[in-house]
Structure 1
C-alpha cells in the first residue's frame, strides 16, 4: 500500500488510494517499489499558477504523476519520467504514458514509438504527447482549461469525455523510494 504524504486534510483529493493501486501496475518496475508518494503541487493547496507549479516541482529528482479532475469528476493524467520544467522543446522517454480512471479500471496508453513527443512544458502551457497538430493532453497556463485528443505518441482516446475540459483539481506527485 502506498502512503500519500504532504496533502493537507482540507484539500480535495484527485488521487485516491484506490486509483494509486490501479496506477502502480502500469509504472516502470523500479517505481512500483515506492511506498510513499509526496504531493509536490496541488491547485487546492498552492494556488493557480504555472510558475508556482514549476518552482515547487523543480527539486523533484525523477519521475512524477500528473493527476487531473475535471468538471465532470473524471480523473486522468500522465506518468512523466522526468519532472516538469519550463522549456521550449520536447523531453522525456518512452516510459511516459497517459492514463484515465474508468468504472472498469484504469486505462493506460503507452508510447507507440511513432514519435518522441513526450513532454512539452512551456511558460504558457503543459502538453503531453503530440503529432499531427494534436496533443494527448494539453493544459493552459492558467491551469483551468485543457484539451485531450488522440495523438500519435500514445494512440490514446481523449482522456476526458469531450476533447475540451475544465480543470477543477490538479496534482503533481513525486516518488519516495
Structure 2
C-alpha cells in the first residue's frame, strides 16, 4: 500500500512527490516504514517564510520527520530526523538520523558514521544537521532562503546541493508521521 500524503494544498508546488516518498520510505528505519500516512507539518508555500512559524507548526509532532529542500538549481535533498525540530542550544537526535539527496540514479543516503553525535542543532538563527570540523552536513539560515552543505564527520556526506556548498532554498517542506 503506497504512502498517503495529507494536508498539502493542491495549488502548491510539491518538493516531496509520490516517487520521492517511495524512495525515502524504503530507507527509513524499519519501524517507521509502518507509517502509511505522512502529514505536511510545514511548507514555505503554505505557511510563509518564518523559522518561528516553522517551530510553532512542528512542535506538536511527537515523532520523526522528513526535512526536504528544493534549491534554485532544482536539486532536492534533505534529512530524516528521528525527532521533530525544536529550538535548542545543544545537539539532539540519535544515529537513526540521516541525510539524503535525490539524484537521477536514485536516492543517495548518508547514514550516521558513529564519529560524533552532532545530529540536529536547531536554534533561532539556523537549523543544522550533522557537524564537526567546523562544517555542517546541512545548514539553513533563519530566513529559510540561504543555506550550505559540506562534508561533515557525522554523515560523511557529499555536499547535498551538488558541487557548490552554498545554495538558495526555493522550497522547504517538513513531513511528520506516526505509527
TM-score bucket (shorter structure):
over 0.9
Alignment partners' CA distance in 2, 1:101 and 1:32? 19
Q: Name stretches of at least 5 consecutive residues in structure 2 with no aligned partner.
A: none
Q: Identify the residue that residue 31 of structure 2 maps to in structure 1.
A: 30
How far does residue 113 in structure 1 lie from its aligned partner after superposition?
0.2
Alignment partners' CA distance in 2, 1:75 and 1:33? 24
Alignment partners' CA distance in 2, 1:12 and 1:25? 24
Q: For this pair of structures, how many residues does the alignment match? A: 177
Alignment partners' CA distance in 2, 1:70 and 1:103? 16
Secondary structure in 1 aligned to 2:23? Answer: helix
Deviation per CA, 1:2-25: give whole Å up to 9, x if none. 110000001110000101101111
Q: Identify the residue that residue 147 of structure 1 maps to in structure 2.
A: 148
How far does residue 74 in structure 1 lie from its aligned partner after superposition?
0.7
**In the alignment, does 2:121 pair up with 1:103?**
no
RMSD: 0.5
Alignment partners' CA distance in 2, 1:72 and 1:114? 31
How far does residue 176 in structure 1 lie from its aligned partner after superposition?
3.5
Alignment partners' CA distance in 2, 1:17 and 1:33? 17
Q: Retained in 2: the 8 A contact 1:109–1:155?
A: yes
| Pairing 1:99-138 to 2, within 5 Å after superposition | 99-138=100-139
Q: Retained in 1: the 8 A contact 2:63–2:178?
A: no
| TM-score, normalised by the number of residues in structure 2 | 0.98
Q: Retained in 2: the 8 A contact 1:38–1:176?
A: no
Q: Identify the residue that residue 176 of structure 2 maps to in structure 1.
A: 174
